[in-house]
Amino acid sequence: MKAFLTSTGSFLPGPPIDNDEIENFLGRVEGKQSRLKSRILKSNGIKTRHYAIDREQRTTHSNVEMAVSAARHCLDSSPVPTRSVGMLSCATTQGDMVVPGFGSMVQAELGVPGVELLTTHGICSSSVMAVKAAANSVRLGEHRSALVVVSELASRLLKSTRYEAAGGLAAMDFNSEFLRWMLSDGAGACLLESAPRGKCLRIDWIRSFSHADAFPVCMGIGSPTDTTDARTWQDYPTYGQAEAAGALLIRQDVRLLEHMVKLGVDGALRLIEEGVLVTAEVDHFLCHYSSHHFRGKIADLLVMSGANIPQDRWFTNLYTRGNTGAASILIMLDEFLRDGRASVGDKILCMVPESGRFNTAYMHFTTVAE
Amino acid sequence: MTISRPLALSELGQATLRQLTRAWFGFERRLALVPIVRRLDLGTFTLADYQQLLLHLRPQVVEGSRWISRCASSFDRDHSDIRSVVLGHANDEHRDFEVLESDYVATGGELETIRKQPRNIGSEALNAYLMFRAGEPNPVGLLGAMWIIEGLGEKMAGNWAKRVEELTGVGRGCTQFLRYHANNDDSHMNKLYGLIDRICTRQQATHDVVLTANVVGRLYALQLEEIDGAQ
């Protein structure tokens, strides 16, 4: 059996925030402007993003509220009634509640009865895990429809008060500040069905390759600033002590990021070798990573080995919608499809390289008509 | 006839390059698991680690020039264009070990100690394999060895040298060997593309090149693993 992606939706909280306004929302650590901000923004190329917090760093939309708004946006564009959704497959990096699972909270707020529920755990690629599980469920014939909802509220982690509680400017470095100028908030959704509906996407395959066995953590929350301290956040007597030790800050080991590009290419080469992926046939490439990272020697190598996808086939909205972690790929797909960019017969490749501990995920679709 | 970068590779050439790239990523993945490399990644690498690294690299670097020279002499007149490239390569690298020795002395080591250092299990296996392959008639598979060893040279220059300095506090005068391959990036890649185009015209040659790359990567990683194994 096959599965078809028949509708998409997204939600971005509040107005777009430009680079000069970021610190008015996230706050200034110890009242001082960041000295690294412009350098990091220049490298990630993001121009505008959205935050679910206001200028006083109060939450304006919960993660669940954003998720439900994206889900409604998706279902409002489809004749499938909410109550008939068979499976609800959700992903987020951090829900509003620590437990129960994010999916339970989304189900409650969305009001969909008796669904099979899944919440995947991880970072950016958890969205693809959620899509794959939903697609497999439809393919197996267990459900006629499955709704995937992915939402991120990273800004709560990036507030100036978080850094002040962890030792302030004196305790901050490039790795702890990097994601402050990278991540923002938003939600995406898609509906999968067992039969095509109108112009839609047939799911050809979804694959991923994880490399956690070989490489250290590259992006994470839970370890203290002192790298010789092996404790993680719950090992401290109190959460206050964990926060003071920097164990609740989100960090990126920037030096390890180069592995992400290579492992992204490695996964694509594996799929080419298997005969699953033919890059020359890809009409549209949606990548949750800026194209300028694939430059220089690796770009030349892709061209020479016939594995390149020309720049004019890339589509991204990272620069205007921001990097919304796991939600990004669905927010991107939503804008891409609503713009009417896919014609019947077009093949679409999505790639989500997750730096967390290096998981690279790929989805391949063909545009079909009912 | 000289070997230079082709405008485009044939279908088999492209497939070879993709397989070599996979072999390289597999090698990097294996390297990331080697204890001394992991310490470099995690930031726990010490000056003593660096000295051990240099000690264990030297025997292979000394032998490196020998297998390349032997390889050159194994190409017949129908492969003289390849022989020219290999000869140039042998000439470039046959005194690399002196740079390595000087780095070791600059870190406070004794010249006599590094000169006496025997090959470890990995160096022994790597050297034996390379010398054996180099002695075969027209050993085109050794393109795979070049791919891995030159790739590692670039990785050392672009990635390891600065990290070693950062973690151990040694100056540039101690990392000249690691930095050695930094400047010839483009010309090396163009030469490799040219060699793939020249050599990989049959499936058998591609198989041979990729197999050699994988064996050399595996043995090189063993050489680095043995830095901890031998202690």
Supply the ipTM of this predicted assembly.
0.91
- Who among A214, A256, A258 is closest to B29 (CB)? A214
Domains of chain A: 4-199 (3.40.47.10), 207-216+254-365 (3.40.47.10), 219-252 (no CATH)
Structure tokens at B216: 């050399």
Decide if pLDDT at A322 tops 90.
Answer: yes
Report the C-alpha gap between B72 and B84 in whole angstroms.
8
What is the predicted pLDDT for the residue at A139? 98
What is the predicted pLDDT for the residue at B88? 82
pLDDT tens profile A245-269: 999 999 999 999 989 999 999 999 9
Fold of domain B11-37+44-224: Heme Oxygenase; Chain A (1.20.910)
Centre a 10 Å sphere on the Cβ of residue A30 and count the other Cβ atoms it contains.
12
pLDDT tens profile B160-208: 999 999 999 999 999 999 988 665 556 778 888 999 999 999 999 999 9
pLDDT tens profile A88-122: 999 999 999 999 999 999 999 999 999 999 999 99
* Closest of B136, B155, B159, B138 to residue B217, by C-alpha: B155
Average pLDDT, chain A: 96
Which residue in chain A has the smallest CA separation from B13? A305
What is the predicted pLDDT for the residue at B230? 59
SS3 category, A26:
helix
Query: What region, left, alpha or beta, does residue A167 occupy, with left being phi > 0 and alpha being psi -120 to 50 degrees?
Result: left
Instruction: Give the residue-averaged pLDDT of B39-47.
Output: 93
What is the predicted pLDDT for the residue at B207? 98
pLDDT tens profile A264-300: 999 999 999 999 999 999 999 999 987 778 777 788 8
Q: How far is B34 from chain A (nearest CA, A)?
A: 9
- Who among A216, A262, A304 is closest to B28 (CB)? A262
What is the predicted pLDDT for the residue at B157? 81
Q: Which residue has the tokens 């600065």?
A: B162
What is the predicted pLDDT for the residue at B185? 57
Q: Please give the helix or strand (H or E) that residue B21 lies within, else none.
A: helix B11-33
Q: State phi, psi for B49 to the nearest 5 degrees.
A: -60, -45
What is the predicted pLDDT for the residue at A123? 96
Query: What region, left, alpha or beta, does residue A296 occupy, with left being phi > 0 and alpha being psi -120 to 50 degrees?
Result: left
Report the C-alpha gap between A326 and A352 in whole angstroms.
9
Band of pLDDT at residue B96, cut at 50, 70 and 90: confident
pLDDT tens profile B103-133: 999 999 999 999 999 999 999 999 999 999 9
Question: Would you give the DSSP letter of residue B119?
Answer: P
Residues of A in contact with B7 (CB under 8 A): none
Band of pLDDT at residue B87, cut at 50, 70 and 90: confident
22-41 in B: which are within 8 Å (CB) of A? 22, 25, 28-30, 32-33, 38, 41
Residues of A in contact with B28 (CB under 8 A): 259, 262
* A-B contacts (CB, under 8 Å): 58
Decide if pLDDT at B1 tops 70.
Answer: no
Mutant choice from A276, A305, A359 vs B, greatest count of B C-beta within 10 A = A305
What is the predicted pLDDT for the residue at B182? 60
Report the C-alpha gap between B173 and B71 in whole angstroms.
32
pTM equals 0.95
Decide if pLDDT at A29 tops 90.
Answer: yes
Q: Do A227 and B8 touch (CB under 8 A)?
A: no
Q: Please give the torsion angle defined by the CA atoms of residues B23, B27, B29 and B35, in that order, rounded to the nearest 10 degrees.
A: 170
How many Cα neighbours within 13 Å face the side chain of B183? 4
| Residues in CB range of A19: below 8 A, 6 or more apart | A37, A38, A41, A46, A47, A48
Structure tokens at A118: 């899944």
N-to-C CA span, chain A:
16
Band of pLDDT at residue A28, cut at 50, 70 and 90: very high
Is the Cβ–Cβ distance between A3 and A203 less than 8 Å? yes
What are the C-alpha distances in Å from A312 to residues A45, A76, A284, A319, B212? 18, 32, 9, 16, 37
pLDDT tens profile B131-167: 999 999 999 999 999 999 988 988 888 889 999 999 9
Instruction: Give the residue-averaged pLDDT of A294-322.
Output: 91
pLDDT tens profile A49-90: 999 999 999 999 999 999 999 999 999 999 999 999 999 999
